Amino acid sequence: MALRSILQLPDDRLRQTCAPVTRFDAALKHLSDEMLETMYSAAGRGLAGPQIGVMQRIFVMDVGWKEGRPSPLVCINPVIKDAAGLAANDEACLSIPDQPVRISRPALVRMAWQDLAGRDCEGFFDGFAAVCAQHERDHLDGILCIDYPNLPNPVSEGPA
């Protein structure tokens, strides 16, 4: 397996809409393995196809691996079906290093996707998993976290 180079702004490919995946074969499995390896090596929790120059609707994520609870997920042709609530979170992006932003996103999402065999899947994501799934899915349409209104960081109360 090989690590892939992660594209960074201002690379134009990060702003393009990706094509649907239509071939579910060994090459797709190999790509997903390389994407996960690249994501882990970069200490990320998600990575989308366009971030490595693959202009297809695929992303990988694993929100628990840093806490010792690995749960890698490969999402192909993902679609957000429903969303509820709002939560403000700090987001970072491997393609925009050292520029975290605080944005508001739905706190709960229902997403449909295909797995590596082309089977239809559906699931609910909340908390950081919801943030990660939405962040990576946005990449597939050329949308970056810096495109959302940046919220101010909460001000902590100091001594009176």
Q: Identify the structural domains of the chain with CATH numbers, from first to last.
A: 12-147 (3.90.45.10)
Q: Do 20 and 77 form a contact (C-beta atoms < 8 A)?
A: yes
Tokens of 65: 């691996």
Residue with tokens 């429903």: 82
Q: Torsion angle of alpha carbons 4, 116, 70, 34, nearest 10°?
A: -10
Q: Do 136 and 48 form a contact (C-beta atoms < 8 A)?
A: yes
Q: Do 3 and 51 form a contact (C-beta atoms < 8 A)?
A: no
What is the pTM (predicted TM-score) of this model? 0.93
Res 156: pLDDT:
44
- Give catalytic residues, as residue numbers: 136
Shortest CA distance to 46 belongs to which of 25, 111, 81?
111
Shortest CA distance to 138 belongs to which of 65, 57, 28?
57
Res 150: pLDDT:
85
One digit per residue, pLDDT tens: the chain, 160 residues?
789 999 999 999 999 999 999 999 999 999 999 999 999 999 999 999 999 999 999 999 999 999 999 999 999 999 999 999 999 999 999 999 999 999 999 999 999 999 999 999 999 999 999 999 999 999 999 999 999 988 886 654 444 4
Res 154: pLDDT:
62
